[in-house]
Structures are given as C-alpha cells and as structure tokens.
Structure 1
Amino acid sequence: MQPQQPNRATTPGLPTPPSGWPIGSYPTYAQAQKAVDYLSDEGFPVQNVTIVGVDLMQVERVTGRLTWGRVLAQGVAGGAMLGLFIGLIASFVLTPASTALLVGVAFGIVFGVVSSAVPYAMMRGQRDFASTMQLVAGRYDVLCEPTTAEQGRDMLARLSL
C-alpha cells in the first residue's frame, strides 16, 4: 500500500481525507495526544502531524431509566434556568426587577415542562431511557508529512507509553 501524498489543491472549507505517512498507532486518543505532545516538546514540527481516528464507532451509553417524574423534573430545571436568564435580561429594562425575574422564571418553567413533556408523550414508551452518544475510534494513527516522517517515527520509537 502506497502512502498518500499530500493534496494541496483542495477546496477550502470542504472535508478532505488526511494525508501523510503513519509514524505511530495508539489504542486511545490520550496516548496519541501524548505522542504528539512529546514530539512538540522535542522541537519536532508538529504542524506537519495529524491524529486520525480509524474504525469509527458510534457508542450510545445508557445513563438511566426515563420516567415521567424525571422528564418533568428536567423540564422544570432547564426551564427555570432559561427563565432566570431571560428574567435577568428583562430586569435591566423593566421595573421592579424582582417581578421581571419571577415572571421570567415562571414562564421558563412552563416552557421547560411543555417542551420536555410533549416529545416524551409522543414516544409512547418506545424509548424509556436516557443516554449519551459518543463517536469513538478503534485506534488512533499519527500521520506526518513524508519529508519528516522518518524523523518522527524514530522519535516516537524512543517514547514509552
């Protein structure tokens, strides 16, 4: 397999595949980051280095059961924060300031409860859990421009992770 040569004739703003020669491969992003940090500390031109996640996976981690109580509590909390923010802004213009804050919080709570309860009710029990999504890679390759790849590979060979 031939290493990819850099393609300088790319359209700005469009995604482009990474280029360069592999100088290291690591099972975690933290290890790849540590390798690049080591290169930087040693004076290597890191502007020629790219960390590439390979074998991407979308991971959904379930954080807990979703119930009406939890949905409404999250709606109250989120709405109260939004209402407090809007009430604070309104308190600069309206008098008395405390009334603006209270009205903002009250309307925020109503908005938060409605905006969280309606989507949950529409799901009709098909998704009764909360989760977070994450994009992770099976490994992380460190690529480098061909002109300095051999030097970078030699430097990383001295690094023990």
Structure 2
Amino acid sequence: MTRPIGGAKPLGLPTPPTGWPIGSYPTYAEAQKAVDYLSDHQFPVRDVTIVGVDLMQVERIVGRLNWPRVIGGAVVAGAWIGVFIGLLIGIFTGQILGALLTGITFGVMFWVIMQSVQYAASRGQRDFQSTMQLVAGRYDVLCDPRTAEQGRDLLAQLSHAH
C-alpha cells in the first residue's frame, strides 16, 4: 500500500478510539482548552484524542417558515449563485456586467421556483426553520498509555490553576 503525500498514515475505516482517559469535560471548549494546555507544555499531543460521549442530535428552531420567508430566502440564495455563475461566464466572455445581470436574474428565478415548489409540496408539514447540531453529553480526553500519566499530571495542574 502506498502512503499519501507527506508520509502520513492512511486513515482507513472508522475505528473506536483507544487510550486511557486523562480528563473529562462537560463541553468541547473545555476539552479543547485542556489539549491546548498540554500542547503549551510541550506534551506530545499526537498521543491525545478528544471523544464525544453520549452523542445527541439537537435541532434548534430558529423561526417560523412562511411564504414571504421562503421567497425572500430564495431571492437571496439565487442572487448569490447568480453572481458566482455570472462572474465565471463574464470572465470568459469579457462581458462581465451583462453576464452578471443575466446570472443574477436566472439564479433568482430558478431558486424561487425550486424553493416554492418544495415549500408547497410540504403542505405545512414543516413550517419552521431549524439548524442541526451533533453534541455530546461529555467530552473525554484519551491518551496513549505510554504518556497518559504525564498527561494526567499536567491536566491536574490545569484544574488547580482555575
């Protein structure tokens, strides 16, 4: 098997994390801060893994969905896509302004039609906007057994400092 550029080992299929726990934190930010602390103290952070435990998919509702929002969002999204496509075409043809205006017009029309059909087809089954996020109940910091004791000692110093 050949190695990728840079000599890094290929990742392969997903495998469960290994190592000894050297810290456990309620938020990812705190686990990240712990690893940063280890790095600041010249610890071999390649031995460390942050593992999210008790994963949850969280859907946060950000607003009500109605026809004005669907159309407004489609106009904005279509305009951005139209700007991108119009600029690309304009660069190759030398007619930037014309291509830009055409791209925006067709982008808005296409996106408004697509979003309107999709919203109408939902028949009110999902009249809200939301964002999805994967979060964990806690974040464990695992470490290779050969350096785990040193890592645990350093993280103990961090917890006493705060």
TM-score when normalising by structure 2: 0.89
CA 1:96–1:43: 2 relative to 1, 3 Å: closer
Structure 1 CA distance, aligned partners of 2:155 and 2:39? 11
Show CA shifts across 1:26-73 (max 9, x none): 000000001011111111111000000000000000000000100010
Matched, 1:87 2:86: yes
Q: Distance in 1 between matches of 2:144 and 2:92?
A: 57
3-state SS of 1:131 partner: strand
Name the SS for the 2:17 alignment partner.
Answer: coil
User: RMSD of the alignment, in Å?
Assistant: 1.3
Deviations 1:134-161 (A, max 9, x none): 0000000000011111111111111125
| C-alpha separation in 1, matches of 2:67 and 2:121 | 12
In structure 2, the gaps of 5 or more residues are 1-9
Show the 5 A alignment for 1:12-161: 12-94=11-93, 96-160=95-159, 161=162
Change beyond 3 A, Cα 1:97–1:37: closer
The CA deviation at 1:95 is: 5.3
Structure 1 counterpart of 2:37, one-letter code: Y
Flag the structure with higher helix content: 2
* 1:18 to 1:118, Cα distance in 2 relative to 1, 3 A: same
Q: Secondary structure at the match of 2:24?
A: strand
| TM-score, scaled relative to structure 1 | 0.90
- The amino acid that maps onto 1:30 is A
Kindly, what percent of the aligned residue pairs are identical?
Answer: 66
The one-letter amino acid of 2:125's match is Q
Displaced runs of 4+ in structure 1, greater than 4 A?
none
Q: Secondary structure at the match of 1:115?
A: helix
Q: Where do 5+ consecutive residues of structure 1 fail to align?
A: 1-10
Count of residues in Structure 1 that have an aligned counterpart in Structure 2: 151
